[in-house]
A = this chain, B = another copy of it.
Amino acid sequence: MSDLSSTERTRHRRLREQGRTNRAELFDVLEAGFVCHLGVIVDGAPMVVPTAYGFDSDNLYIHGSVASRSLAAGGPTPVCVTVTHVDGLVLARSVFEHGVNYRSAMIYGVPRPLEGEEKLEALRILTEHTAPGQWDYARRPNRKELAATTILAVSLEEASVKVRQGPPDDADDPHDVWAGVLPLAATWQPPVTDPAASHEVPDHVRLRAGTRLG
């Protein structure tokens, strides 16, 4: 299992210094998911909370309710946002070489609360990334709802991507047994209509069923 746990911030790469290839990898990882794990420091201890996200070429966008407490307490506060796709189990010949095939992005920054048009646009991006088609189909936020929503932007400037794919690395191990990968796939299921709703499932929802996430 060690492969999934060896990232250190010291090895992170400033993506803008690395050019297009790694930025493309970053966007591939962000595009493939919609829930991240947000790390903040609260009362001197780390707190890690899952939350939905969206992104554009410059920023990742999240709801602010998680970070708001530490933001409110001490002004700008550093966060780490991690997006992980678990692609399979690496079943090696030795226990020591067991691991996980995965793609993961880590983004470091100080979140910036958005206001006005920028906030509305970020909420649109977040909504459309998570639930494509719903920005035009559902009722958009009114003034009161928008005021009750905090949207934070985290710059994508400091980010790193880690990927592990392929078979185990211990083909030379003398323990002669089967080895390989047990892949894992997340798939959207048929929609479940709210008992209180009477409309047909719209195409933009119906057509996601059976497609894979990530």
Residue of B nearest to A135 (CB): B95
A124 vs B1: C-alpha distance in the bound complex, in angstroms? 12
**Chain B residues with CB under 8 A of A37:** 37, 39, 48, 50, 82, 84
Instruction: Check if B102 sits within 8 Å of A47, measured CB to CB.
Output: no
A61 vs B175: C-alpha distance in the bound complex, in angstroms? 26
Instruction: Check if B96 sits within 8 Å of A66, measured CB to CB.
Output: no
CB distance from A108 to the nearest CB of B (A): 7
For the complex, is A24 an interface residue (Cβ under 8 Å from B)?
no
For the complex, is A13 an interface residue (Cβ under 8 Å from B)?
no
**Chain B residues with CB under 8 A of A127:** 1, 95, 98
For the complex, is A58 an interface residue (Cβ under 8 Å from B)?
no
CB distance from A59 to the nearest CB of B (A): 16
CB distance from A83 to the nearest CB of B (A): 9
| Chain A 1-19 interface 0/1 with B at a Cβ cutoff of 8 Å (1 = within) | 1101111110000000000
Residue of B nearest to A12 (CB): B47
Instruction: Check if A79 sits within 8 Å of B46, measured CB to CB.
Output: yes
A194 vs B109: C-alpha distance in the bound complex, in angstroms? 39
For the complex, is A20 an interface residue (Cβ under 8 Å from B)?
no
Instruction: Check if A95 sits within 8 Å of B138, measured CB to CB.
Output: yes
Do A50 and B4 contact each other (CB < 8 Å), given the known contacts A98-B127, A139-B93? yes
A138 vs B90: C-alpha distance in the bound complex, in angstroms? 12
For the complex, is A44 an interface residue (Cβ under 8 Å from B)?
yes
Q: List 14 A-B contacts (CB under 8 A).
A: A1-B51, A5-B38, A5-B62, A8-B42, A46-B46, A50-B84, A89-B131, A168-B194, A177-B199, A180-B192, A183-B188, A184-B187, A184-B213, A185-B187
Residues of A bordering B, CB below 8 Å: 1-2, 4-9, 34-35, 37-52, 62-63, 65-66, 69, 78-82, 84, 86, 88-89, 91-96, 98-100, 102, 104, 106, 108, 123, 126-127, 130-131, 134-135, 137-141, 145, 148-149, 167-168, 171, 173, 175-197, 199-202, 205, 208-209, 213
